Amino acid sequence: MSQPRGPPRIDFFELPGAGLGTFDFVLFLGVLYHLRHPLLALEIVCGLTAAVAIVESFITDGDSWQNHLEDIPTMEFYETDELGGQLDNWVGPTLGCLLAMCRAAGFARVELLHTEPQRATLACYRKWEPPLPKATVPTPELIAVMNNRNYGINFSTRKEEYISCWFRCSRANLEREELRLEVGEFGVPALYIRAEGGGVWLANFRFPPGLTSGWQPVRLRLADSGFSNSVRIAVDMPVEADELVVEGVCDGLTWTPGEVEVRERGFVSCWVKGLGENCDRSNVRLYLGGARLRVEYIGEPGVNGFRQINGLLPGDIAKGEAVFRVEFGGIGSEPLRVEVK
């Protein structure tokens, strides 16, 4: 009689492609320092976690971490058998390094549960603590959310992506530790914050692991405020179109149809139908003659389905008659003749 077979065994780094989904609770106990790529491993754990992961690992400063927790985190690397005479021991982080790597991996907040002379246990949460029952400061207003790399609204779970957020806040002083960003259902800690003037702030965040494809809402609050309005981003959505129709091309300042004027900062304006809902400044391309124009603005579709698009006109573009066209998702529009003056 054949013996029943157990579940298949796979390598740890094969987990993202195994189609396992997410789990409310993940236990990652005594594994980290046995892996060649510890930060990548924690990102995988984060992507598998819906609520909280318990991370337990060897650390190098279990009996002295209080003396240097604020220092720059460090980690020892063991090329062969320097740790315990075992070839599969690769790294030895300090406690501060372990905490920092868990945050860098995508967990919203990390809590120290226990330490021993050579070990530490952490609770790593995907979500922020619940908001205060009664907010003590006004709710921030989320103005815009963009991909930090290309200023679009599309993000890929297969790339290292960063989120830039512009928001309005009544506070004169603000620290990044006070921000509580949510993408979908997951919290994301801030990496950088800067006052832009007029009550507007810019903050940058890592794109969190574990998001599903489609439209995902982004919202922001402070530690002592309610949540802002939501702004959508597109995650792993295809860029595709069936047909592009351009209705009119004109100078973006004089609105003269069929011609554009070269000046210190000139613009081309056009109206396009057929763009995908996830069109943005990165995946829509404007061409005038042999020059690709930088897309500065894409409007919402009007009642007839056309979007206004503005492109920056290069100051050194050749004057005379030129062909204008739009591309999106591998599809190009019919060329239009434009006079460049």
Q: Residue 6's pLDDT is what? A: 63
Note down the domain range covering 201: 141-235
Residue 8 lies in a domain: no
Percent of the chain with pLDDT over 90: 84
Residues 182 and 265 placed together within one structural domain of the fold: no
CATH number at 46 reads 3.40.50.150
Q: Which amino acid is at 269?
A: S
Residues 98 and 18 placed together within one structural domain of the fold: yes
Residue 4 lies in a domain: no
Helix (H, G, I), strand (E, B) or coil at 195: strand
- Side-chain-side CA neighbours of residue 232 (13 Å): 10
Residues 147 and 197 placed together within one structural domain of the fold: yes
Confidence check: pLDDT of 317 > 90: no
Residues 95 and 24 placed together within one structural domain of the fold: yes
Confidence check: pLDDT of 5 > 70: no
Residues 118 and 33 placed together within one structural domain of the fold: yes
Asked if 297 and 267 count as a contact pair (C-beta separation under 8 A), the reply is no
Residues 20 and 114 placed together within one structural domain of the fold: yes
Confidence check: pLDDT of 1 > 60: no
Percent of the chain with pLDDT over 70: 98
Q: Residue 186's pLDDT is what? A: 97
Confidence check: pLDDT of 314 > 80: yes
d(CA 339, CA 316): 15
Residue 24 lies in a domain: yes
Residue 136 lies in a domain: no
Q: Residue 264's pLDDT is what? A: 85
Q: Residue 245's pLDDT is what? A: 96
Q: Residue 4's pLDDT is what? A: 61
CATH number at 204 reads 2.60.40.10
Residues 209 and 114 placed together within one structural domain of the fold: no
Record the pTM: 0.89
pLDDT tier at 216, thresholds 50, 70, 90: very high
Residues 299 and 261 placed together within one structural domain of the fold: yes
Nearest to 296 by CA among 265, 325, 262: 265
Residues 292 and 228 placed together within one structural domain of the fold: no
Residue 132 lies in a domain: no
pLDDT tier at 255, thresholds 50, 70, 90: very high
Residue 240 lies in a domain: no
The 10s digit of each residue's pLDDT in 258-278 is 999 998 889 999 999 999 999
Residues 25 and 118 placed together within one structural domain of the fold: yes
Angle between helices 95-104 and 38-48 (to 10 degrees): 50
Q: Select from 125, 155, 180 the last residue of a domain.
A: 125
CA dihedral sign, ordered 34, 35, 39, 41: negative
Nearest to 275 by CA among 316, 330, 225, 231: 330
Q: Select from 81, 97, 125 the last residue of a domain.
A: 125
Q: Residue 3's pLDDT is what? A: 62
CATH number at 279 reads 2.60.40
Q: Residue 8's pLDDT is what? A: 73
Q: Select from 72, 93, 125 the last residue of a domain.
A: 125
Nearest to 96 by CA among 131, 123, 128, 61: 61
Residues 103 and 147 placed together within one structural domain of the fold: no
Residue 7 lies in a domain: no
Mean pLDDT value across residues 9-38: 94
Asked if 187 and 221 count as a contact pair (C-beta separation under 8 A), the reply is no
The 10s digit of each residue's pLDDT in 177-199 is 999 999 999 999 999 999 999 99
The 10s digit of each residue's pLDDT in 88-109 is 899 999 999 999 999 999 999 9
Residues 207 and 254 placed together within one structural domain of the fold: no
Confidence check: pLDDT of 2 > 70: no
Number of domains in the chain: 3
Return contacts of 36-41, CB within 8 angstroms, 24+ apart.
Answer: 36/90, 37/13, 38/75, 38/90, 38/91, 38/93, 38/101, 39/101, 39/104, 39/105, 40/13, 41/12, 41/13
d(CA 126, CA 52): 6
Residue 131 lies in a domain: no
Mean pLDDT value across residues 33-40: 96
